[in-house]
């Protein structure tokens, strides 16, 4: 097999990154934008020692699971890799991705439950982050999402996976920025004003918080006037903020945010609890699916009578808050001071008195105490937990660890470590938070 060879292959399965896997004369080939059972004509683009990559020239026999994407830009925009596959089969593929990770990395045969589907597969994304740039000739602003594996922006006027009002607000900003002397950002030259548009939308009451990320450390009078115009144009917008980020970085938000008009938060409801969400608050982008996860964890905690619970990597203490009705005492640990301050406000808002908040790294906090908790909830970032953090969790937990993960590979790695320490993985339940992508959330119940 050589570069530029034309071959006909049948797709066997998807990788954990949603690339199709085919074999030719015993060698593995990775192919994008295909579905298992597709028979395709491909062109080899790269040959490595152990595998090759290829692009599709023609779909000869389509899989029975192929459908017409409901977004006309699906094959251009990099956000919805699986939208051309029927939703039920997407869930089957995600279950397989989790199974493959658990078997190959953790070396476990724990059955993987079928994923709990998202209650919505359209208009489910309630956080929008649109990069902004500007055309060279017409000087029009472009706002949308990046093409796959690039920083080339696809100008999107309609995105069916987010609420329509978000499209309308982005469109207004795109069409009127120039009038206020606000230019689009040029990533290569590090010039221009507006870098990103961030919208938080409440699934509970439909209100919006708009944040404009600018390539500056000061606000001009025209920018302030534009923020007020956005606020006045849309009754759903409860506040407009400016975030300052003049660094050469791919990080979206800078460290400082200033509210220009209105409120700097929206209210969101999960189960029966009210939350305050700011522009930089970590909160699930699909609140209705997140509610399924929180309810699942709450039911697991409720199996114990008045347990003590450690809520680690707590963010704004969402897990602690949603389980507060079924636990005796909860200790929420989060190293981000801003998140802890928002958690304090939410506790007061919901009249919750059995949660103790600590602004500290989880590992350092656990090393500083001697007490044990009946249950520990671990909800780390995508990189998972360190071995040191897992050791401390084991040392300070009496009965169960509930591990919530958005990355099957790091979950499998950490489960391998825990089982080698004598733990037993009871169940792994996937939840589809990110429809039409290869991402899948999982909750693992671990018996000590």
Q: Positive or negative, the Cα torsion across 98, 99, 103, 108?
A: positive
Whether 355 contacts 324, CB under 8 Å:
yes
Active-site residue, from 80, 159, 385, 406: 406
Distance CA 41, CA 121 (A): 31
Whether 320 contacts 309, CB under 8 Å:
yes
Distance CA 429, CA 214 (A): 40
Distance CA 17, CA 31 (A): 11
DSSP summary character for residue 185: P
Rounded to the nearest 10 degrees, what angle do helices 408-420 and 387-395 cross at? Answer: 50
Phi/psi for 433 (5° steps) reads: -90, -30
The question of whether 77 is a catalytic residue gets the answer: no
Q: Positive or negative, the Cα torsion across 369, 370, 372, 376?
A: positive
H helix runs in 55-195, sequence order = 87-101, 164-176
351 alpha-carbon distance from chain centroid: 29
For 23, 92, 159, 164, the CA distances from 87, given in Å and listed in that order, are 26, 9, 18, 21
Instruction: Please name which of 250, 367, 375, 403 lies closest in space to residue 306, comparing C-alpha atoms.
Output: 375
Distance CA 146, CA 135 (A): 15
Residues marked as catalytic: 406
């Amino acid at each position: 097999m050589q570069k530029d060879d034309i071959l006909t292959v049948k797709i066997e399965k998807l990788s954990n990154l949603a690339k199709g896997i085919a074999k030719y004369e015993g060698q593995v080939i990775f192919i994008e934008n295909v579905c298992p059972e597709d028979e395709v004509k491909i062109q080899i683009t790269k040959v490595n020692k152990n595998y090759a990559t290829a692009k599709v020239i023609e779909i000869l026999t389509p899989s029975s699971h192929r459908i017409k994407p409901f977004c006309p830009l699906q094959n251009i925009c990099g956000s919805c890799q699986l939208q051309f596959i029927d939703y039920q089969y997407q869930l089957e593929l995600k279950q397989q991705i989790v199974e493959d990770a658990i078997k190959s990395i953790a070396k476990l045969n724990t059955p993987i439950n079928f994923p709990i589907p998202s209650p919505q597969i359209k208009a489910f994304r309630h956080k929008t982050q649109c990069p902004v740039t500007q055309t060279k000739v017409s000087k029009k602003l472009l706002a949308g999402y990046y093409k796959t594996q690039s920083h080339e922006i696809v100008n999107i006027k309609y995105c069916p996976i987010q609420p329509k009002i978000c499209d309308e607000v982005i469109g207004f900003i795109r069409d009127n920025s120039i009038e206020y002397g606000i230019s689009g950002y040029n990533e290569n030259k590090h010039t221009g004003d507006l870098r990103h548009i961030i919208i938080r939308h409440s699934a509970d009451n439909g209100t919006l918080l708009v944040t404009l990320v600018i390539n500056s450390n000061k606000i001009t009078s025209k920018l302030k006037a534009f923020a007020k115009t956005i606020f006045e144009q849309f009754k759903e917008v409860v506040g407009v903020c400016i975030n300052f980020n003049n660094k050469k970085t791919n990080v979206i938000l800078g460290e400082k945010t200033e509210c220009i008009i209105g409120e700097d938060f929206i209210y969101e409801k999960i189960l029966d609890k009210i939350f305050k969400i700011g522009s930089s608050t970590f909160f699930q982008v699909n609140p209705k699916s997140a509610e399924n996860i929180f309810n699942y964890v709450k039911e697991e905690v409720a199996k114990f009578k008045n347990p003590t619970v450690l809520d680690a990597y707590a963010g704004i203490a969402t897990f602690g808050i949603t389980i507060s009705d079924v636990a005796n005492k909860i200790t929420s640990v989060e190293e981000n001071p801003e998140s802890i301050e928002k958690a304090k406000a939410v506790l007061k808002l919901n009249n919750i008195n059995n949660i103790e908040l600590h602004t500290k790294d989880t590992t350092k906090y656990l090393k500083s105490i001697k007490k044990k908790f009946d249950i520990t909830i671990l909800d780390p970032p995508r990189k998972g937990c360190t071995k040191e953090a897992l050791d401390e969790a084991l040392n300070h937990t009496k009965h169960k660890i509930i591990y919530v993960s958005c990355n099957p590979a790091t979950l499998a790695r950490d489960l391998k470590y825990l089982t080698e320490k004598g733990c037993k993985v009871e169940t792994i339940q996937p939840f589809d938070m990110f429809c039409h992508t290869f991402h899948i959330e999982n909750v693992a119940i671990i018996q000590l």
